[in-house]
Amino acid sequence: MYSLKSKLNKSLILNMLLIMLVMLVILNIFIQRLVMEQVLTRLQHDAESLVSIIGQTVNQQWEVNPAHISTVYNRVRSGHYYVVKTSNQIIRSRSLFDYEVAIDVLKGGASSSYQMDGAGNEHWLVWQQNIQKNSEQFQVWIAEDITGLQQQLMRFSIFAILLVIVFSVALIYMQQKILNRAFAVFDLLRSNLQAIRYGDAEKTATLVPLEILPLATEIEMLVEQLKQRIQRTRNAIGNLAHEIKRPLQLLALHIDSGDNKEMAVQSFDEIQMIVDRELRRAKISGSNVTGGVFKVREELPVLLQVMQKIYPHIYINLNIQNGLNEVNLDRDDMMELTGNLIDNACKYANQDVAVNIAMEQSDWVFDVEDDGKGVDQEQMALITGKGIRLDESRQGHGLGLTICADIVNSYQGKLHFSVSEMGGLKVRVSLPVKL
């Protein structure tokens, strides 16, 4: 057993923190590169400016006029430094003072940039380039202390981390609210099911997300189906109690009076007949499997075998449409429906009963007809009435068709009676099937 909400919450938090961490690293690298490129651009500009103001003295020596360059290069340890090398001369900025710098030799018009530790606690970003002027090759080395920039970048990184933490906490809080609101629909569904189960309130309208709408619909259909089945069971038990009450009273009366043994036996036989009928109906319905599909080609042959044992003198002809193997209808309801109709047809048939099953558009159609004496037109409207029997000479108490009508109505189907070409009654059941 595990909590779906906790699993989703944990996954969302981990994914969010991972994304935030990746974004933070990428942002930090991008800003560092951007800052360093800006510093390098300035160093390149200063290197070109430095070469442009280099001139020769009367002694044919190269020098940089301090008046034409930024004063930061003239202050000792100012954080801005340069070295210019010619074939026979090295020109150093006053800011270097006595600090010796090891400069790599570049060939041709090459250039390079790198970082190095400088004087004191300084950390330098260096730009090195070969520049030619007046047929003279100059190797310019220019550096800037980036310790302050690195400290600023560190402060920015710490601020960004704190900002990410604050945003993460806020997002986790909002995520919890969203998950709680999303999962609240399950509490509403549970409350609806409890209300239906205890029968103390009507179910409330619930706005169900599309993702769980099929599940909620199936649950509601199952609950409604169970309610209808329980109601049919209660009705059947009530009818059975009502039917058995009169013969029991007569049996008790005859036993108390001690006379008319024949009437007592007749009352006992009537009670036995009612019990046998209910046992037969239970056998027809089979095992109680709620829901599922009705497997026509598997279930009906077994049902007909039971019927043949009950009515050995009746020939039952079963015809199932080609390709029709199963339908999306409750198996238990269909077994009770088809069992009652076939039982009723066998009861009133002379020797033949025909059963036809087919799909017509989106409806499942079940036809049962017999070769009995049939029913008059004016009496067809009465045969689904509770306890009404048109032929008192046969066993049964008229409840089978009433149960069938209840099942058909629960599926918003149709139950139609007509005269069969075989001479008896034809019953057609038409039920809509969800594809």
pLDDT tens digit string along 26-84? 988 999 899 999 999 999 998 888 888 888 877 778 888 777 788 888 889 899 999 99
| The predicted structure's pLDDT at residue 392 | 39
If asked whether residues 124 and 264 sit together in one domain, one would say no
Domain termination residue (choose one: 132, 150, 168): 150
The CATH number of residue 392's host domain is 3.30.565.10
Tens-place pLDDT, residues 353-365: 999 999 998 899 9
CA of residue 42 relative to chain centroid, distance: 57
Q: Is residue 18 part of a domain?
A: yes
Place of tokens 């986790």: 172
What are residue 353's phi and psi, to 5 degrees? -135, 135
Place of tokens 């049939």: 374
Q: How far is CA 75 from CA 26, 66, 103, 116, 141, in A?
A: 37, 11, 21, 21, 18
Domain termination residue (choose one: 135, 150, 165): 150
Check whether 245 has a pLDDT greater than 80: no
Any bridge partners for residue 124, and if so which? 116, 145
Question: Domain span at residue 408?
Answer: 258-432
Tens-place pLDDT, residues 176-185: 888 888 888 7
Burial 212-233 (b: 16+ CB within 10 A, else e): eeeebeeebeeeebeebbeebe
Number of neighbouring beta carbons within 10 Å of residue 283? 13
Q: Is residue 348 part of a domain?
A: yes
Domain termination residue (choose one: 121, 150, 179): 150
The CATH number of residue 56's host domain is 3.30.450
Sign of the C-alpha dihedral computed for residues 100, 106, 112 and 114 taken in this order: negative
Q: Is residue 189 part of a domain?
A: no
Tens-place pLDDT, residues 141-160: 999 999 998 899 899 889 98
Name the pLDDT band for 326 (thresholds 50, 70, 90): confident
C-alpha to C-alpha distance for 316 and 309, rounded to whole angstroms: 12
If asked whether residues 123 and 269 sit together in one domain, one would say no
Q: Is residue 7 part of a domain?
A: no
According to DSSP, the β-strands at 294-295 and 136-145 are unpaired
Q: Where are the beta strands (DSSP E) in 42-146?
A: 54-56, 62-64, 80-85, 90-92, 111-117, 123-133, 136-145
Tens-place pLDDT, residues 112-141: 899 999 888 899 999 998 888 877 888 899
Average pLDDT of the chain to the nearest whole number: 80
Q: How many domains would you assign to the chain?
A: 2
If asked whether residues 143 and 290 sit together in one domain, one would say no
If asked whether residues 274 and 422 sit together in one domain, one would say yes
Angle CA 141–144–145, to nearest 5: 135
Check whether 345 has a pLDDT greater than 80: yes
Assess contact for 381 and 416: CB atoms under 8 A. no
Q: Is residue 226 part of a domain?
A: no
Place of tokens 């034809």: 426
Q: Is residue 386 part of a domain?
A: yes
pLDDT over 90 for what percent of the chain?
Answer: 20
Q: Is residue 423 part of a domain?
A: yes
If asked whether residues 263 and 399 sit together in one domain, one would say yes
Q: Is residue 220 part of a domain?
A: no
Residue 354, H or E segment: strand 352-360
